[in-house]
Amino acid sequence: MRINYSPIMDFTMGTAAADLRGELRRLVDEHVPADFLGAFTDDPADFEAAQRFSRLLAERGLLCLAWPAEFGGRDASIWEQTVVREEMWAHHEPRGAQYMGVNWVGPTIMRHGTEAQQRTHLPPIARGEVIWCQGFSEPDSGSDLASLRTAARRDGDGWRITGQKVWTSYAAMAQWCFLLARTSTGERKQSGLTIFLVPMSNPAIEVRPIRSMIGPHHLNEVFFDDLRVTEADVLGPVDEGWKVVQEVLAFERVGIARYARCERLLLAAPSALGERWDALPAELRGRWARMLTHCRRARLLAYRVLSLQRLGQVRPSDAAAYRIAVTTLDQDSAEVLVELAAHLDPAGADGPHRFRREAEEHWRYSQAATVASGSIEMQRILLARALLAAS
C-alpha cells in the first residue's frame, strides 16, 4: 500500500485500505455494543467487551497487522496498521488498553529484547491476552522524565527496585509493566537509566487508583518496595535506557490517532442536528469547518512521522510537531462539539442523544491531551530547539 505524495493528498490510501476500513467498521458494528464509549468506565461490561473484541481482531490477524509473521503479525505495511489505528480510535478504542502493547511495547521488544524476552512477551500481545502499563512519570519527574528517582541497585545476580510512579494508566489491570529506573548516576541525568520488564503480580508492587473525571482504571500510583528482578528482566543495555525511551515516546505520541475521532464526530454533527443545523450561528459553523481543516493537518503530520519512522529517520522534533497539532485539535474540537451538542433537539431520537454522549466523553478525555505523554510545553521546547539548531 502506498501513500500518494502528490500535491493533492489521497487520504484513502488506495482500495486495499478502503477494504480494510470497511472490514473493521463491520466488525465494530457487529461486535461492539452500540452504547460503547470506552473500555474504562464504571461498568465492567465495557472492559469485557474490549477484551473480547481484541481477541476477535487477533483471531482475524488484524490486531498486530504490521508485525512480522514470526511474531504473530501479517507483515503488513505501517499504512495498513495506521488504518487499524484510525478506525479503532475513531470508535472509542474498542481494543481497550491493547493499543499500548501493539503500538510500542511489542515493537520495542522486537528491536531491543533478547530472544527469550521475545518468546515470552510477543505471542500474548499478538493474541490480545495481556495488558501492559508504562512506569515512567513520577511525582517530581513528569515532563522532565530524565530526573526520575526510582532506583534499581545491584543485588547479586539481579536488582532491587524501590520508588514510586504516578499517572500510570491501566496499572490496576495490567499483567506487566514497562519500567524505567535509575541504575547509576553520571554527569547527564539522561545517563544511567535502565528499562525493566516486570510482572505486576509481584507482591512488592502496590497499585493505588487515582479517581478522575475520565473514569476509573485510567490513572494510578504505583509503589515498588524493594522489588527483586533478574538480569533476564532488563530490556536493552544497562544504563542506556534513555535511548530506547526516545524511540518509545516517538511511537507512543503518534500511536493514538486522535484526529480520527475528532473528524468522525465533526462529520456526524450535521446529521445529528438535522434541521437545526441551518439555524446555527455562522460563527459556530465557521469554527466547525476550521476544525475539519485542522483534522486534515494533524493527519498529514501523523503520516509524515510514520513515513520517517519507516525509514528510521524520525527525530523527537518531528513527533513533537505532530503532538502539538493533534492535542490542540483534540481540545479545540471538543469545545466545538460540546457547543454543537447543546443545540440538539432535547426530544430527539437515540442518534442525537448518542452524539451528545460522544461529544461529552470526547471533551472529558481531551482535557488531559496536552499533558499526557509529555506536556505540550515540553513539545514546544523540543520543536523550538530543533528549529533554532537548523536556522
Which residue in the list 86, 87, 138, 252 is annotated as catalytic? 252
Opening angle at CA 373, ends 367 and 375, nearest 5: 65
Are 384 and 377 contacting, i.e. CB atoms less than 8 angstroms apart?
no
What are the phi and psi torsion angles at 181 (to 5°)?
-140, 160
- Return the DSSP state at 81: H
Q: At what angle do helices 258-273 and 316-341 cross, to 10 degrees?
A: 20
**389: exposed, middle or buried (Cβ count in 10 Å: 0-12, 13-18, 19+):** exposed
Strand ranges inside the chain, DSSP E: 132-135, 151-155, 158-165, 176-182, 193-199, 205-210, 219-230, 234-235
Candidates 183, 180, 229, 225; CA nearest to 207 is: 225
252 included as an active-site residue = yes
DSSP string of 184-250?
---SSTTSSEEEEEEETT-TTEEEEEE--TT-TTSEEEEEEEEEEEEGGGEESSTTBHHHHHHHHHH
What are the phi and psi torsion angles at 152 (to 5°)?
-115, 120
Q: 73 CB contacts (<8 Å, ≥6 apart)?
A: 61, 64, 65, 66, 67, 126
Strands 176-182, 132-135: pairing kind: parallel
Q: 93 CB contacts (<8 Å, ≥6 apart)?
A: 38, 39, 50, 99
What are the phi and psi torsion angles at 363 (to 5°)?
-60, -45
For residue 140, the surrounding DSSP H or E stretch is none
Cβ neighbour number for residue 232 with a 10 Å cutoff: 12
Number of alpha carbons in the 13 Å side-chain half-sphere of residue 292: 12
Q: Which residues are catalytic?
A: 252
